[in-house]
Amino acid sequence: MTGDNQNFLYCPECGQKNTVTYVNRRHWVCSSCGFNLYNNVAAAVGVIIPDEAGRALFIRRAKEPRAGFLALPGGFIDPGERAEEAALRECAEETALALTDLRYLASFPNIYVYKTVTYSTCDIFFTARAEDFSPRAADGEAAGFALESVRTREDIAALPLAFPSAARALEAWLASLSK
C-alpha cells in the first residue's frame, strides 16, 4: 500500500465489493449506497524545548512511521482537547518533562502514513521551557533522545528528521530568535 487510500475492497456500510473510491484526497464514497467517510485534516502538536545551551530536544522514534528518525516531542490532539493541553500531555508522555512558558510558534501541514492510510495533518508547533531538563522515555514512543545544536538552516537540513513540518518549525524558531 502506497498511501493512495484505496483501502475499502468492500463498502463498510452496504458490503458491496469494489464500489468505494477515494475522492479528491478527502473522502471515501460508495457508488452503491452513498456512504461518505471524510478523512479530514488531523491536528497534531510539536514542541521545541531548548536546553540551557540552546540545543533542541528530539525524540528518536521507536515506532513506524519513520522509526529511528528524529521528531520533536508531540503527537495527535485528542477529541475535545486544546492544542496547548495536547502539547503538555504528549511531552509528559514522551519525555516526562514538566514544561513551562508554552508559546505558540507556527503551524505547518504534514503527511502522515500510518499502516495503509495516509492522513493529512496540520502540525501546530510551540516552544516551551523545562525547569528540570532530564528527559526520560515514559510511554514507549521514544527509543531515545537527542540534543541537537540548531543554529543555521544547514544544521536543520543535516538532521535526520522524521517529518518535514518539523524542519519548517525549526526554521521559524531560528527566525524568531534572530528578531
Chain residues binding Zn ion by CB under 5 A are 11, 13-14, 30, 32-33, 35
Instruction: CB nearer to Zn ion: give 29 or 161.
Output: 29
Which residues, in sequence order, are CB contacts of 103 under 8 Å at separation 6+? 126, 127, 128
User: Cβ 147 to Zn ion, closest distance in Å?
Assistant: 51
Question: Residue 146: is it exposed, middle or buried by C-beta count within 10 angstroms (0-12/13-18/19+)?
Answer: middle
Instruction: CB nearer to Zn ion: give 35 or 58.
Output: 35
Q: How many CB atoms lie within 10 A of CB 178?
A: 5
Instruction: CB nearer to Zn ion: give 22 or 133.
Output: 22
Instruction: CB nearer to Zn ion: give 5 or 110.
Output: 5
Instruction: CB nearer to Zn ion: give 11 or 124.
Output: 11
Round to whole Å and give the CA distance between 129 and 98.
8
User: Cβ 89 to Zn ion, closest distance in Å?
Assistant: 37
User: Cβ 15 to Zn ion, closest distance in Å?
Assistant: 7
User: Cβ 30 to Zn ion, closest distance in Å?
Assistant: 3
User: Cβ 1 to Zn ion, closest distance in Å?
Assistant: 21
Round to whole Å and give the CA distance between 126 and 152.
19
Instruction: CB nearer to Zn ion: give 11 or 162.
Output: 11
Question: What is the longest distance spanned by two Cα atoms in the chain?
Answer: 61
Q: What angle do CA 48, 50, 55 make, to 5 degrees?
A: 110
User: Cβ 16 to Zn ion, closest distance in Å?
Assistant: 5
Which residues, in sequence order, are CB contacts of 178 under 8 Å at separation 6+? none
**Tally of CA atoms within 13 A in the half-sphere of 30 that contains its CB:** 16
